[in-house]
Chains A and B, each alone.
Chain A
Amino acid sequence: MRPAEFEYHESRTVEEALSFLQLRGDEGVKVLAGGLSLVPMMKLRLAQPAHLVDITKIPTLSYIEESGNGGLRIGALTTYAAVSGSELVQKRCPILAEVTGILGDPQIRNVGTIGGNISNADPASDIGPMALALDVEMGIAGPQGRRTVKAADFYVDLFTTALDAGELLVEIVIPPLPSQTGFSYTKLNQRRADMGIVNAFSSVTLDGDIVKDVKVTVGAVAATPVRALQTEKILKGNVLTDELIVEAANAAADGIKPETDVHATAEYRTEMVKVLVKRTLTQAVKRAR
């Protein structure tokens, strides 16, 4: 359980990191952020990069700022603890503070980075369903300059993103949140520090008793976080009732084909999707009112 040999490159600027990645633009190079996903993979020798580019000493990658239009810009290297403890995040996007505040355990939150989580694209990540539902944009730096990719296009497959080997995720942009909207996230796990067996996120915008807009996303049931489109369709434009929430939550399992693994069977996951979506919808509605 110890990693294979590699060459270590400490970078102090984004440009320096990019040049290291350029020089070794192949499978033999990996970016090191919090290391919480990468280091275990290296110990198991499931990852054996010849070169590691440490980005944790780049001061300009760790920040939380307001964006002009009322949203937030967060540097990729910002830790979960810094995000959840930020007054600006608590004010502008309380659900983000909530999710990063319950993720893992205190030592994980002190080290793990929001950019590392998103780049890693673990299907059970707590950030994935939220990023998809909030339409978060990823700021990417590469040899050709900057580009942005929306969450819906960023998560490509299991542990696979739109990032090219020579690119760095540098910023996460959260658009301004709509008003009269409630957000809710929940995960099902055995120990409180574990990743979810199923994760669900709901965002509900109300106009009186009518559902003006709704987004529901689920994690840990497919290769990437997915939207529960049928659930959204049942709710959108309709008068909210308890029965409608149940009907919509049950529809979240339509079209989802989760896997059976050591944590849970596919059948159990399918049932739990309905339960968790119902819980998040109910809480989001309460918060929207």
Chain B
Amino acid sequence: MKKTITMTVNGQIMKAEVEPRTLLIDCLRDQLGLSGAKVGCVVGKCGACTIILNGLTVKSCMMFAVQADGAEIMTIEGLAGDGELHPMQQAFTDKSAVQCGFCTSGMVLTATQLAKDHPNASEEEIKDAIGGHICRCTGYVAIVDAIKEGCKRMSEQQG
């Protein structure tokens, strides 16, 4: 039996009609047209489907859309301001931390959460923070550099 759910996604109220077995990631991508979060492994290991749900990073392939009824969600699409990249996105671009881009949306969201909790995150803390993400292209060095830079820019922006 289908159920209508209502979520606030990137600041906008959105409705979707879902079967209980519909995964949240499939609802976001296929029904709401938000294809920024990717489907990689579907078993919780790669982090490509990472979103921010009620203020916490989660892997959206591991939960059902019905569970997100009433929730507040942010996807990568909600990060950039009016025609301007978010400082973390800009840092990923500047540090060449993006190759195919498949892991990037998840990495960037995790990195923005880290920057909020630990503006001066050490290299070790950065590595722990991205422990739930797999990148098959970059070898991670550029990503760690970008997150370091992004954290710096985010705390400068906040003053």
Contacts and interface: CB of A to CB of B under 8 A. Distances in A.
Interface of A: 1-8, 10, 32, 34-36, 39-40, 42-43, 52, 54, 56, 81, 104-108, 110-111, 191-193
A7 B62 contact: no
A106 B55 CA distance: 13
Nearest to A5: B21
Contact of A39 (B63, B113, B131): B63
B110 A8 contact: no
Contacts of B43: 1, 40, 43
A8 B3 CA distance: 10
Contact of B50 (A8, A32, A107): A107
A61 to B, nearest CB: 15
A111 B128 CA distance: 17
Query: How large, as a class, is the contact surface on chain B?
Result: 20 to 34
Nearest to B56: A110
B154 interface: no
B47 A107 contact: yes
A42 B57 CA distance: 23
Interface string B32-71: 0000000000111101001000001111001110110000
Contacts of B67: 32, 35, 54, 56
A106 B63 contact: no
B20 A6 contact: yes
Given A108-B44, A191-B131, A39 B20 contact: no
Contact of B23 (A2, A10, A107, A108): A2
Given A43-B42, A105-B128, A106-B57, 10 more contacts: A2-B21, A3-B21, A35-B64, A39-B64, A105-B47, A105-B131, A106-B128, A108-B44, A108-B59, A111-B63
Contacts of A39: 44, 62-64
B123 interface: no
Contacts of A5: 19-21
Contact of A111 (B1, B42, B58, B131): B58
A43 B21 CA distance: 10
A55 to B, nearest CB: 11
Contacts of B63: 35, 39, 111
A3 B26 CA distance: 12
A35 B53 CA distance: 15
A81 B132 CA distance: 14
Nearest to B69: A10
Contacts of A35: 62-64, 67
Candidate in B47, B62, B64, B66 with the most chain A CB atoms within 10 angstroms: B62
A8 B133 CA distance: 30
B129 interface: yes
A107 B20 contact: no
B47 A192 contact: no
A8 B19 CA distance: 9
B132 A111 contact: no
Contacts of A43: 42-43
Interface in B1-32: 1, 3, 19-21, 23, 26
Contacts of A40: 43-44, 62
27 contacts: A2-B21, A2-B23, A4-B21, A5-B19, A5-B21, A6-B20, A8-B64, A10-B66, A32-B67, A35-B63, A39-B44, A40-B44, A43-B42, A43-B43, A54-B66, A104-B132, A105-B47, A106-B57, A106-B113, A106-B128, A107-B58, A108-B59, A110-B57, A191-B131, A192-B128, A193-B131, A193-B132
